[in-house]
């Protein structure tokens, strides 16, 4: 388009020829005239908005973000903005000194030089470091390493938005899904490595922890731990940047644990941001020294020639130092469950029972605990729109009631659907982490049925993403303790009321039955036992947790229940899965107290008290023998399962508890008799 000097403008039409608009509003070829305004100097202007207050593009970018101001007055400061600025600098310096101390190599006197900020944004990095002397010239000594000559940038308690940016920019395999969640890959390891998890055996833990047959605790010595710690710390110090999370465990403020997680991936930092309790700005300003520290150097392998190492992966716990080292695995669940193991050690020392369970609360304040292994329906049944969710996985039972250990949920995603699990489906949005899922390369829509990477696909999200979550995640003493079993043998009743000894027996057993393929292609049930419904994470002998559970149930009037969500009318292949609506009716009857008033009869072999009727549930299925057409097959299967229980419990019979071993005898007597 060009002016011809007469107030008319020419422009090219679709055929490449010129059209002219005259001053009367009509173009010479019939097209509408283009309206313009001329200022006094003859120039055309866009007056829709005022110009930006920047002279360069860098200056414009600097206007985009503003600094976060301190949320609370700093203790000991005088009035005035200048004094607050100084104290803020001092606070950051103390924070960095604490982080530097965490990253200190034990063969050197001081920790690394750490500075806040992303190394890719040097102009934005605050000039606050862990050591004042680092800004001055000094003479290196013979013990100085290359990593001691550089700064390690600390990305401290970043927000989800900032962690998204880090992951998308620097971590291959990071994408934003159609719902806004961050999709990530955990590398070669897509699940926990229990055979590579070790605990330092010292004079204290040798007597306190559960060692030997059946125990998840594999020993290592102090020296080997320090070798792996040095390897992890040196790796983290060699990086240009590390992510540091300072967070809490346990919603009970009297028994809260301060944890620090040092990691190399934004994925790990966001995962722990979601799974641990997020401190307020005020709490973060006064965080101080952590009670426990994780060094996640999962991208770097351990040395296979190191004593006790059997692979390139090692997850090491040192309870005396209150430290955990991760080498050779990037699976984020190792951090979550590692801290759970720590709580299983620390909390019982305070006479607090740590539990691998779900927990919800009714509108009248009645709390229920749900125990169950994978596939038993723990998540489904503890998620109830008519009740508040306190937590889905890890809890403490204190003198004040129950409290969630975590600040988030870690849900399985395989075959997830909006219809089956609407709360989990809706929680997978911005801020959530999706591990090892598969998505459409164009739309970024997730295919939750795709197992191309792994069947163990997971989502980690803050518990606030669940609409009926109770915040803070605490509640009164439980009224009901529900032990879930998916019995594929089809001989356990849909529901049984347990006495205290039976509750302890079945709690220690931690039974469920899975369906596994055999060599000839026939599928048959396989019994699975996991002590306290979480054997991989407990630190003390199972009977100690069981005794604490029985004591708390007795003192607070809680009732134990065994609920079978598995098969009825026969084993897997001949019987049918108990319908979920029936199980929900049973759980509802437990919650409202009506099942306590039902009539009961005792079963053979296991000696379980079963109700004769439950509202909304066919009475004939309440006693398993009624649903089997072949009574002899039922009796044979019942005795087979009872034998499996007895064989499993042999692991625990040598451990004596109670005065004159009385409690051990009571627990054994509560098992099957035949």
Other beta carbons less than 10 A from residue 292's beta carbon? 21
> Which of 198, 378, 506, 541 is the catalytic position?
378
DSSP letters spanning 185-206: --TT--S--GGGEEEE--TTHH
> Which of 36, 289, 311, 374 is the catalytic position?
374
403 is catalytic: no
Of the candidates 60, 261, 232, which has an alpha carbon nearest to the alpha carbon of residue 156? 261
Residue 671's Cβ-count burial label (10 Å; 0-12, 13-18, 19+) is buried
> Which of 189, 265, 273, 458 is the catalytic position?
458
Other beta carbons less than 10 A from residue 481's beta carbon? 26
Contacts 24+ apart (CB under 8 A), 78-86: none
366 is catalytic: no
337 is catalytic: yes
278 is catalytic: no
Three state DSSP letters for 273-315 = HHHCECCCHHHHHCCCCCCEEEEEECCCCCCCCCCCCCCCCEE
Q: Is the peptide bond before 520 cis (omega within 30 degrees of 0)?
A: no
Classified as helix, coil or strand, 270 is: helix
Where do we find the tokens 């008290």? 609
> Which of 189, 192, 387, 497 is the catalytic position?
192
Q: What is the largest CA-CA distance in the chain?
A: 114
> Which of 393, 541, 565, 637 is the catalytic position?
393
What is the helix (H) or strand (E) element at residue 339, kind and residue range? Answer: helix 333-349
378 is catalytic: yes
Residue 148's Cβ-count burial label (10 Å; 0-12, 13-18, 19+) is middle
> Which of 113, 260, 356, 544 is the catalytic position?
356
Classified as helix, coil or strand, 239 is: coil
> Which of 313, 379, 383, 571 is the catalytic position?
379
Specify the pairing of strand 241-249 against strand 257-263.
antiparallel
260 is catalytic: no
664 is catalytic: no
458 is catalytic: yes
> Which of 197, 229, 231, 337 is the catalytic position?
337
Q: Helices 631-649 and 500-509 sit at what angle, rounded to 10 degrees?
A: 80
Specify the pairing of strand 241-249 against strand 151-156.
parallel
CA–CA separation, 586 and 495 (whole Å): 7
Distant-in-sequence, close-in-space partners of 404: CB < 8 Å, separation ≥ 6: 250, 251, 359, 390, 391, 394, 395, 463, 473, 474
Residues recognised as catalytic: 192, 337, 356, 374, 378-379, 393, 458
């Amino acid at each position: 388009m060009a002016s011809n000097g007469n107030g008319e403008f020419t422009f090219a039409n679709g055929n490449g020829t010129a059209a002219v608009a005259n001053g009367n509003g009509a173009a010479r070829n019939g097209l509408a005239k283009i309206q313009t305004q001329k200022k006094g100097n003859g120039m055309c202007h866009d007056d829709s908005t005022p110009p930006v207050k920047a002279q360069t593009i860098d200056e414009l970018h600097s206007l985009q973000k503003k600094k976060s101001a301190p949320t609370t007055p700093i203790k000991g400061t005088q009035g005035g903005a200048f004094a607050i600025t100084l104290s803020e600098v001092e606070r950051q310096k103390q924070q960095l000194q604490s982080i530097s101390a965490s990253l200190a190599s034990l063969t050197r006197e001081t920790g690394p030089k750490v500075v806040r900020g992303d190394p890719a944004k040097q102009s934005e990095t605050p000039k606050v470091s862990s050591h004042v002397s680092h800004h001055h010239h000094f003479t290196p000594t013979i013990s100085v390493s290359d990593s001691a000559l550089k700064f390690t940038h600390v990305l401290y308690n970043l927000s989800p938005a900032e962690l998204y940016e880090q992951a998308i920019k620097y971590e291959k395999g990071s994408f934003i899904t159609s719902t806004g969640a961050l999709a990530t890959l955990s590398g070669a390891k897509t699940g926990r490595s229990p055979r590579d998890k070790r605990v330092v055996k010292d004079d204290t833990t040798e007597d306190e922890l559960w060692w030997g047959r059946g125990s998840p605790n594999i020993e290592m010595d102090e020296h080997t731990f320090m070798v792996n710690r040095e390897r992890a710390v040196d790796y983290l110090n060699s990086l240009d940047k590390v992510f540091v999370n300072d967070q809490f465990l346990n919603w009970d403020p009297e028994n809260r644990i301060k944890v620090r997680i040092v990691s190399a991936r934004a994925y790990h930092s966001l995962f722990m941001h979601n799974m641990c309790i997020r401190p307020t700005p005020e709490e973060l300003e006064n965080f101080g020294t952590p009670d426990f520290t994780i060094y996640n150097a999962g991208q770097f392998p351990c040395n296979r020639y190191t004593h006790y190492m059997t692979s390139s992966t090692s997850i090491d716990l040192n309870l005396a130092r209150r430290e955990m080292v991760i080498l050779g695995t990037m699976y984020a669940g190792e951090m979550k469950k590692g801290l759970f193991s720590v709580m299983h050690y620390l909390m019982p020392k305070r006479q607090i029972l740590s539990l691998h369970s779900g927990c919800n609360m009714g509108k009248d304040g009645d709390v229920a605990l749900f125990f169950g292994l994978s596939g038993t329906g723990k998540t489904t049944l503890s998620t109830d729109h008519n009740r508040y969710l306190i937590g889905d996985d890890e809890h403490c039972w204190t003198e004040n009631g129950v409290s969630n250990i975590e600040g988030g949920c870690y849900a399985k995603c395989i075959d997830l659907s909006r219809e089956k699990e609407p709360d989990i489906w809706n929680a997978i949005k911005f801020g959530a982490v999706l591990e090892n899922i598969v998505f459409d390369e164009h739309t970024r829509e997730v295919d939750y049925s795709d197992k191309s990477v792994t069947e163990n696909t997971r989502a980690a999200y803050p518990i606030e993403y669940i609409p009926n979550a109770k915040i803070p995640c605490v509640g009164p003493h439980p009224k009901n303790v529900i032990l879930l079993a998916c019995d594929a043998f089809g001989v356990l009743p849909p529901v049984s009321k347990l006495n205290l000894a039976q509750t302890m027996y079945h709690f220690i057993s931690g039974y469920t039955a899975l369906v596994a393929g055999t060599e000839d292609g026939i599928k048959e049930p396989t019994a699975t036992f996991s002590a306290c419904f979480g054997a991989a994470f407990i630190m003390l002998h199972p009977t100690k947790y069981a005794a604490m559970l029985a004591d708390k149930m007795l003192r607070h009037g809680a009732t134990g229940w065994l609920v079978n969500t598995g098969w009825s009318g026969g084993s897997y292949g001949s019987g049918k899965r108990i319908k979920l609506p029936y199980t929900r009716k049973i759980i509802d009857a437990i919650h409202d107290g009506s099942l306590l008033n039902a009539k009961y009869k005792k079963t053979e072999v296991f000696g379980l008290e079963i109700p004769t009727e439950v509202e909304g549930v066919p009475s004939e299925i309440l006693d398993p023998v009624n649903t089997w057409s072949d009574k002899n097959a039922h009796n044979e299967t019942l005795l087979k399962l009872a034998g499996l229980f007895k064989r499993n419990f042999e692991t625990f019979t040598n451990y004596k508890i109670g005065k004159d071993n009385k409690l051990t005898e009571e627990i054994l007597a509560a098992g099957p008799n035949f």
